[in-house]
Amino acid sequence: MLSHLQFWRERGWAPISAADYADAWARFGGSVATHPEVVARLAGLAGIAVRYLGW
C-alpha cells in the first residue's frame, strides 16, 4: 500500500547525491537526527539504503 503512495508522496522531488544533501544541511541546518553523518550511520546499522530527495 505504501509503495502505491510513494509517487504521490515524492511528487515534485528529485533524487540528489549525499554530497548535495550534506551541502544543503550545512547551509540551511536541521536537527541532529537529520545530520548527514547520523543518517548514514543509522542507515548502515539498520541495513537500509538511503535515498536523498531534493526539491
Distances (CA, A) of 37 to 1, 9, 11, 45: 30, 25, 26, 12
Q: What is this structure's pTM?
A: 0.79
d(CA 3, CA 5): 5
Per-residue model confidence as pLDDT tens digits over 2-49: 677 887 777 889 999 999 999 999 999 999 999 999 999 999 999 999
